[in-house]
Chain A
Amino acid sequence: MNPIESLHLFQGEIALLVGAFAILFCDFFIHNKKILGWLTLGVLIGAGFLTAVPHQSYGLFFGLFQLNDFMHFFRLAALGIVAITVLLSLSYQGLEDHLGEYYSLLLFMTFGLILMAASTNLLMIFISIEFVSILSYILVGFRKKDPRSKEAALKYLLFGSVASGMMLFGMSLLFGASGSLELAAIQQRLLLPDFLPVTIVATIFFLAGVGFKVSMAPFHLWAPDVYEGAPTPITAFLTVGPKALGFAILIRVLLMAYPALGNRWSAIISILAILTMTLGNVTAIVQSNIKRLLAYSSIAQAGYILMGIAAVSKIGVSAVLVYAVAYALTNLGAFTIVVLVSNHTGSDQLDAYTGLARRNPFVAASLTIFLLSLAGIPPLAGFIGKFYVFSAAIHAGFLTLAIAAALNSAIAAYYYFRIVRVMYLVPSTETTAMPQPLPLMLALCLMLIGTILLGIIPAPFIDFVQTSLFL
Chain B
Amino acid sequence: MDSHLLSLITFMPLAGALAILFVPKTSTGLIKWIATGVTLAVGLLTVRLMMLFDGAVPDFQLIEKALWIPHFNIHYLMGIDGISYPMVTLTALVSILACLASFSIKEREKEYYFLYLLLMTGMLGSFLALDLFLFYIFWEIVLVPMYFLIGIWGGARREYAAIKFFLYTLTGSLFMLLGILAVYFNATPHTLNLMELTRNTYEFGFQKVVFLAFFLGFAIKVPIWPFHTWLPDAHVEAPTPISVILAGILLKMGTYGFFRFSYPLFPEAAVWFAPALSILAVIGIVYGGFVALAQTDFKKMVAYSSVSHMGFVLLGLAAMNQDGFNGALLQMFNHGVITSALFLLVGVLYDRAHTRDMGAFGGLGAQMPLYSGLLIFFSMASLGLPGLSGFVSEFLVLLGGYQYSRLYTGLACIGILLAATYLLYMIRRVLLGPLNTQWSSLTEINTREIITLVPLLILTVAFGIYPKVILDVMAPTLSALLKVMGGAA
Chain A residues engaging chain B, CB cutoff 8 angstroms: 357, 372, 377-379, 383, 387, 390-391, 394-395, 402-403, 406-407, 409-410, 413-414, 417, 420-421, 424-425, 458-459, 462-463, 466
Q: How far is the CA of A390 from the CA of B152 in the complex (A)?
A: 33
Tell whether, in the assembled complex, residue A406 and residue B152 are in contact, meaning their CB atoms are under 8 Å apart. Answer: no
Tell whether, in the assembled complex, residue B68 and residue A417 are in contact, meaning their CB atoms are under 8 Å apart. Answer: no
Tell whether, in the assembled complex, residue A394 and residue B181 are in contact, meaning their CB atoms are under 8 Å apart. Answer: yes
For residue B178, CB closer than 8 A to chain A, the reply is yes
Tell whether, in the assembled complex, residue B185 and residue A394 are in contact, meaning their CB atoms are under 8 Å apart. Answer: yes
Of chain B, the residue at the smallest CB distance from A455 is: B137
Q: Given A378-B140, A410-B167, A425-B159, decide whether A459 and B178 contact each other with a Cβ distance below 8 A.
A: no
Interface residues of B in 147-165 (CB under 8 A from A): 147-148, 151-152, 158-159, 162-163
Query: A384 → chain B, closest Cβ, in Å?
Result: 9
Q: Other than the known A417-B166, A421-B151, what 12 A-B pairs have Cβ atoms closer than 8 Å? A: A377-B140, A379-B137, A379-B141, A390-B178, A391-B184, A394-B182, A402-B178, A406-B175, A406-B177, A413-B167, A413-B170, A414-B167
Q: How far is the CA of A372 from the CA of B144 in the complex (A)?
A: 9
Q: Which residues of B contact A425 (CB under 8 A)?
A: 151-152, 158-159, 162
Query: A219 → chain B, closest Cβ, in Å?
Result: 28
Q: Which residues of B contact A390 (CB under 8 A)?
A: 177-178, 181
Q: Is the interface of A mostly helix, strand, loop or mixed?
A: helix
> Can you report 5 residue pairs joining A to B where beta carbons are below 8 Å apart?
A372-B144, A377-B144, A379-B141, A387-B177, A458-B69
Of chain B, the residue at the smallest CB distance from A413 is: B170
Q: How far is the CA of A379 from the CA of B147 in the complex (A)?
A: 17
> Of A357, A377, A420, A424, which is within 8 A of B143 by CB?
A377
Query: A82 → chain B, closest Cβ, in Å?
Result: 29
Of chain A, the residue at the smallest CB distance from B176 is: A406
Q: Which residues of B contact A466 (CB under 8 A)?
A: 71
Q: Give 5 nearest A-B pairs by CB, closest first.
A: A406-B174, A378-B137, A410-B171, A394-B181, A462-B71
For residue B70, CB closer than 8 A to chain A, the reply is yes
For residue B72, CB closer than 8 A to chain A, the reply is yes
Tell whether, in the assembled complex, residue A407 and residue B171 are in contact, meaning their CB atoms are under 8 Å apart. Answer: yes
> Of B151, B166, B171, B174, which is within 8 A of A424 by CB?
B151
Q: How far is the CA of A395 from the CA of B184 in the complex (A)?
A: 9
Tell whether, in the assembled complex, residue A403 and residue B70 are in contact, meaning their CB atoms are under 8 Å apart. Answer: no
- Most A-side CB within 10 Å, residue of B70, B171, B174, B175: B174
Q: Which residues of B contact A421 (CB under 8 A)?
A: 151, 159, 163
Q: Which residues of A contact B72 (CB under 8 A)?
A: 391
Q: Given A459-B68, A459-B70, A462-B71, decide whether A413 and B166 contact each other with a Cβ distance below 8 A.
A: yes
Q: How far is the CA of A166 from the CA of B25 in the complex (A)?
A: 59
Q: Given A377-B144, A394-B182, A424-B152, decide whether A459 and B71 contact each other with a Cβ distance below 8 A.
A: yes
Tell whether, in the assembled complex, residue A459 and residue B167 are in contact, meaning their CB atoms are under 8 Å apart. Answer: no
Q: How far is the CA of A357 from the CA of B151 in the complex (A)?
A: 14
Q: Given A372-B144, A394-B182, A402-B178, decide whether A414 and B163 contact each other with a Cβ distance below 8 A.
A: yes
Q: How far is the CA of A421 from the CA of B150 in the complex (A)?
A: 12
Tell whether, in the assembled complex, residue B163 and residue A417 are in contact, meaning their CB atoms are under 8 Å apart. Answer: yes
Q: Which residues of A contact B174 (CB under 8 A)?
A: 406-407, 409-410
Q: Which residues of A contact B151 (CB under 8 A)?
A: 421, 424-425
For residue B439, CB closer than 8 A to chain A, the reply is no
